[in-house]
Amino acid sequence: MTRILYELCGADETALFSPHCWKARMALLHKGLDFETKAIGFATVAQIEGGGRRVPVLRDADHVVEDSFAIAKYLDEAYPNAPTLVPDAALMEFIINWSQVSLHVAVAKIAVLDIWKMLAPTDQEHFRTTREKMFGMTLEEFNAKNAKDGKLLSEALTPLVLTLKKQPYLGGESPNFADYVPFGALQWLRTTSSHDVLPKEGPVAEWFNRLLDMYDGNGRAVAAAA
Ligand SMILES: N[C@@H](CCC(=O)N[C@@H](CS)C(=O)NCC(=O)O)C(=O)O
């Protein structure tokens, strides 16, 4: 197998949880391409494929591509006969930024301590050091400061709810990378958090469940957090 996707995992190697890695995984599945997963802990990410990297990283024979959006665009270029992932790269930037600024912030506020708990000890140390520097406080302080009632998440999801009331996917009748971007954020929450705040009914719940079941249930095969 010459196609390898490097993905972030917890202490349990099957606990694949990174939102960006899920975007890349769904992109490969969308294209119908076989790939092997290399599950990597936070502390070893920087050593992948020559070093200085962040995950996801895709090795496709001689090509090494880093960054979920770059991977999706590369796959469209390299495999033009498989279904398109990114019909409009300029508009896709907006979807990525919306997800990053609103969904990712809401998920991080709910799940940060749960993420730390699921990591292997060396990865816990790396995660604590880097995130505490980023937040300017301890993980416990950050966790205590933020409500876990799902209100912020629900507000952040409003544009998705309104759109999915009119069409089955952000991509229209079928999904594309625009769907895999917010899917990655919700899968991140599903796989890490003990707080039960994912929508249970309505357009987002139905859309998320369809995507979890897609591609032989690849998304659902990774366990939800207990
Ligand atoms: N814009 C990048 C973001 C990649 C990213 O932030 N990856 C995180 C994991 S979710 C990472 O590699 N972190 C390494 C670290 O924190 O040391 C993408 O879409 O792929």
Check whether the bond before 56 is cis (ω within 30° of 0). yes
Residue 49's pLDDT is 94
Domain definitions of the chain by residue range:
3-78, 89-221
pLDDT in tens, 16-60: 999 999 999 999 999 999 999 999 999 999 999 998 899 999 999
Nearest CA to ligand 1 atom 18: 67
Distance between CA atoms of 198 and 178, rounded to whole angstroms?
Answer: 19
Burial class (CB in 10 A: 0-12, 13-18, 19+), 123: buried
Which residue has its alpha carbon closest to ligand 1 atom 11?
A: 54
| 54 Cα–ligand 1 center, Å | 5
Q: 3-78 has which fold?
A: Glutaredoxin (3.40.30)
* Dist CA 9 CA 119 (whole Å): 8
- Over residues 79-135, the pLDDT tens digits come to 999 999 999 999 999 999 999 999 999 999 999 999 999 999 999 999 999 999 999
Q: Which atom of ligand 1 is nearest to the CA of 126?
A: 17
Whether 157 has a pLDDT exceeding 80, the answer reads yes
**Pocket of ligand 1 contains residue 2 by CB under 6 Å:** no
Q: Which of 28, 55, 116 to mutate to test the pocket of ligand 1 (most atoms within 8 A of CB)?
A: 55
SS3 for 90-110, per residue?
HHHHHHHHHHHHHHHHHHHHH
- Distance in Å, CA 72 to ligand 1 centroid: 15
Find out if CATH 1.20.1050.10 is the number for domain 89-221: yes
0.85 surpassed by pTM: yes
